[in-house]
Amino acid sequence: MTESRGPIGDMPMLIGGDLVASESGRWMDSIDPATEEVLGRVPQGTAQDVDRAVAAAEKAQPGWAALSIAERAGYLHRVADALEARAADILRIEVLDTGNTIAKMRADVGKASAQIRLFAGLGGELKGSTIPATAGNLHFTLREPYGVVGRIMPFNHPINFAASRMAAPLIAGNTMVGKPSDQSPLSAGILARMAAEVLPPGVLNIVTGTGAEAGAALARHPRVKRLAFTGSVQTGMAVQRIAAEGAVKAVTLELGGKNPMSVFPDADYDRALAAAVAGMNLGVTGQSCSSITRLFLHEDLHDRFLADLAGRVSRLRVGDPMADDTQMGPVNSRAQYEKVMSHIEAARAEGARLVTGGKRPPGAQFARGFWVEPTIFADVTPEMQLAREEVFGPVLAVFRWSDLEETVAIANSLHYGLTGAVWTRDLGRALHTARRLQSGHVWVNGTAGRYRGVPFGGYRNSGHGREESLDELLSYTEEKAVNVILG
């Protein structure tokens, strides 16, 4: 079955409970990455729009924070209900706007609503503590919201990030201004319409626009004291710099990775092979920060594993992301396509061996759009660009290894540290290796999975802070100490 294509139309912003266009009157086109046709438009928000959104959030915040945890949780459950009721419409927009496959994206609304419900239930954990500092007095702490929170979202899972990441700030008593990616912004309009129906005015505000204009204005805004960003390392560093221009802020960053998977000779061969394919995240064309992009194969199984892996990857069905049997669609944008192709050309030039892929798929149906075959390079060495830089596309670098110490050193040699995977039947060896990987999220005999309540985030330049867990909830509060002097 293939869902229908076709235009989506104009989508609004949300400011103070009203569905609005930008004060500038400008609009941005959103392009179907499979066909390069215009799907729809969103307002090109300005600094003035951001300022209006922050003012609306400030106005709503005291009343929102005055609600009980149970009342705020009730609103969040209604948002989750509304998401689930509109799942089919959201799915169509998401697939057309991102190029991700419909089979992969079907789970995103469910994941978002599950995260919202998780945080609605965690609200009771916003606890302080008592401290026995003196014998005759009372010393305790309270957790209080920051006020207005800003969130800048990525293009790869738009509704998932936009909806699920509002839950922790809101249950903690903050109000929020969200800025969706300008590359896949259309589903934010659906969320805007739902929030206008379900939430009190000003609790959630959505401003679309470019990162350079609307995103920078939100990051810099002096009355947004808590900011979260998901995206590339380079943009995350820019967000930190810009945020510091406006005020002292609490900033968390969930950034990119160059994630290693190491396969030992005793690993469960068939499961490891399947995990290597799954870890490439080809249902989203490799455009996931947690994708396995460096595969370390022990010399005892390297040749066989590489041949089997290339066979599986080369047989994957690349095509219309709206078709149920498609296993990989296009990359998200022309800029992303050009970036991926530049990494492929650099790998060729530096002497990596192309095993499969490396070009636009053949056929008239791929003449337009941002298509790249799933690609594997072997004989990769640590100094190559492909070994060092995040591609954010369907490209895997394969290394041969024999010495574990050297392999761990290579895995840890980059400024990234998001995820990693270890495959072996020897539990002691697995835990030893996992502990030595300088990554924030490690799988032993697994890959690609995210688990309810387990914190996610990176070491080094892969980010700061943890999400999807109690840590995320607490990060949206400030701690106040109260000292009651009794006599």
Rounded CA-CA distance 27/231 in Å is 23
Are residues 456 and 466 in contact, defined by beta-carbon separation less than 8 angstroms?
A: yes
Are residues 179 and 154 in contact, defined by beta-carbon separation less than 8 angstroms?
A: no
Q: Can you say whether the dihedral through the CA atoms of 221, 238, 45, 289 is positive or negative? A: negative
Rounded CA-CA distance 434/436 in Å is 5
Determine the residue type at 465. Answer: G
Catalytic residue chosen out of the listed positions 94, 213, 254, 373: 254
Catalytic residue chosen out of the listed positions 94, 289, 390, 472: 289
Per-residue HEC secondary structure of the chain comes to CECCCCCCEECCEEECCEEECCCCCCEEEEECCCCCCEEEEEECCCHHHHHHHHHHHHHHHHHHHHCCHHHHHHHHHHHHHHHHHCHHHHHHHHHHHHCCCHHHHHHHHHHHHHHHHHHHHHHHHCCCCECCCCCCCEEEEEEEECCEEEEECCCCCHHHHHHHCCHHHHHCCCEEEEECCCCCCCHHHHHHHHHHHHCCCCCEEECCCCHHHHHHHHHHCCCCCEEEEECCHHHHHHHHHHHHHHCCCEEEEECCCCEEEEECCCCCHHHHHHHHHHHCCHHHCCCCCCCEEEEEEECCCHHHHHHHHHHHHHCCCECCCCECCCCECCCCCHHHHHHHHHHHHHHHHCCCEEEECCCCCCCHHHCCCCCCCCEEEECCCCCCHHHHCCCCCCEEEEEEECCHHHHHHHHCCCCCCCEEEEECCCHHHHHHHHHHCCCCEEEECCCCCCCCCCCECCCHHHEECCECCHHHHHHCEEEEEEEECCC
Is 84 considered catalytic here? no
Beta-carbon-side half-sphere exposure of residue 461 (alpha carbons within 13 Å): 18
By residue count, the chain amounts to 487
Is 254 considered catalytic here? yes
Mind telling me the catalytic residues?
A: 254, 289
